[in-house]
């Protein structure tokens, strides 16, 4: 195919900056694969890039196709790509500095692609890579979470939080999660041991000391989180770097995680999904042409888990979905 449907931006701005159009179909280079996208996840990083919040860090060249969560089928292999084969069903969190997955096709480095879970469809698989890798890298790579430890997960009903809860329980940790009271039944389904309603209780007054805090909120929530850490514990944020000076003064550690592609970790996530240890929760499914609405839903926040866009009318579109 010479052209494809895609959603891109030509300038930074609000939702109106998204353009649904015909675009040149990419071709895989050395060590790359061409993937026909069946579904693309929608994440806060998508609209933050659209607004220009990360332009100093990422130095994108416009126009840019957005979206860095993909599930689909390998369509073609570039020279040197040999681990995968044409027809493989795969998923990926591709390099965020390159064109993304709001398109019918995407070129991805083979080293960033893993076989998708066999037990779930592309829509649910597309909800796993970015949030799943973020949860994995905060809890295990940066946080070193081990069995028997206590972890506090802020925003536990969200995309990253809901997967972090499940991964922490799989590891054998005791999990405390903050969320509005209306989401507490959902948190218990995920395995949370103690749910804290942030709307009625200050979490630092309700939580015994923990080994790890996963900060998905930043600001005042991050500052108050120092109070619940055990000496030697760690505060890991995906929003803003925690203060090194504050950490040192309290005898704890800190880390900031900006998620990186990792096919090996994705393969582990895929195995957990197939073993029913990890389930992706999709809240809304939209056609690719309605990506603007998906980003608006993400910007409003206070939604469980994720929204996804299908790449063509052959996919399920326009229906709210939830994990049964």
Output the CA angle 33-36-37, nearest 5 degrees: 115
Delimit the CATH 3.90.180.10 region(s) of the chain.
3-128+280-310
- What count of Cα atoms within 13 Å lies in the side-chain half-sphere of residue 223? 2
pLDDT digits (tens, 9 = 90+) for 51-83: 999 998 899 999 999 999 999 999 999 999 999
Closest CA to 165 of 307, 235, 154: 154
Give the helix ranges, DSSP H, for the chain.
44-51, 55-58, 122-125, 129-136, 159-171, 184-190, 203-206, 219-225, 244-250, 263-274, 291-300
Contact (CB, 8 A) for 7 and 18: yes
Q: Going residue by residue through the chain (324 aa), what tens digit of pLDDT does each one get? A: 799 999 999 999 999 999 999 999 999 999 999 999 999 999 999 999 999 999 988 999 999 999 999 999 999 999 999 999 999 999 999 999 999 999 999 999 999 999 999 999 999 999 999 999 999 999 999 999 999 999 999 999 999 999 999 999 999 999 999 999 999 999 999 999 999 999 999 999 999 999 999 999 999 999 999 999 999 999 999 999 999 999 999 999 999 999 999 999 999 999 999 999 999 889 899 999 999 999 999 888 755 555 566 654 333 323 222 222
Share of the chain above pLDDT 70, in %: 93
Residue pLDDT, tens place only, 209-219: 999 999 999 99
Q: Any alpha helices (H) in 73-154, and if so which ranges?
A: 122-125, 129-136
Give the CATH number of domain 131-256; options: 3.10.20.310, 3.30.1780.10, 3.40.50.150, 3.40.50.720. 3.40.50.720
Q: Where in the chain is the domain with CATH 3.40.50.720?
A: 131-256
Under CATH, which architecture does the 3-128+280-310 domain have?
Answer: Alpha-Beta Complex (3.90)
pTM of the model: 0.91
């Amino acid at each position: 195919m010479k052209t494809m449907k895609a959603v891109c931006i030509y300038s930074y701005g609000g939702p109106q900056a998204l353009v649904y159009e015909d675009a040149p179909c990419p071709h895989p280079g050395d060590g790359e694969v061409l993937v026909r996208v069946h579904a693309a996840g929608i994440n806060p990083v998508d609209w933050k890039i659209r607004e220009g919040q990360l332009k100093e860090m990422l130095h994108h060249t416009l126009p840019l196709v957005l979206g860095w969560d993909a599930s689909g089928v390998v369509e073609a292999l570039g020279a040197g790509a040999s681990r995968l084969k044409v027809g493989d069903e795969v998923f990926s969190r591709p390099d965020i500095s390159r064109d993304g997955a709001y398109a019918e096709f995407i070129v991805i480095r083979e080293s960033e692609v893993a076989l998708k879970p066999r037990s779930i469809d592309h829509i649910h698989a597309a909800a796993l890579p970015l949030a799943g890798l973020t949860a994995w890298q905060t809890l295990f790579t940066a946080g070193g979470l081990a069995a028997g430890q206590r972890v506090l997960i802020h925003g536990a009903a969200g995309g990253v939080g809901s997967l972090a809860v499940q991964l922490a329980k799989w590891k054998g940790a005791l999990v405390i999660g903050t969320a509005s009271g209306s989401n507490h039944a959902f948190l218990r389904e995920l395995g949370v041991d103690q749910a804290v309603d942030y709307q009625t209780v200050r979490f630092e007054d309700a939580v015994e000391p923990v080994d790890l805090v996963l900060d998905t909120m930043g600001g005042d929530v991050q500052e108050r989180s120092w109070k619940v850490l055990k000496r030697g514990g760690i505060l890991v944020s995906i929003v803003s770097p925690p203060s090194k000076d504050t950490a040192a003064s309290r005898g704890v550690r800190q880390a900031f995680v900006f998620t990186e592609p990792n096919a090996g970790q994705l393969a582990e996530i895929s195995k957990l999904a197939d073993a029913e240890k990890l389930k992706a929760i999709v809240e809304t499914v939209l056609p690719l042409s309605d990506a603007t609405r998906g980003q608006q839903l993400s910007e409003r926040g206070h939604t469980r888990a994720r929204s996804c866009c299908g790449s063509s009318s052959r996919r399920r579109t326009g229906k709210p979905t939830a994990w049964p």
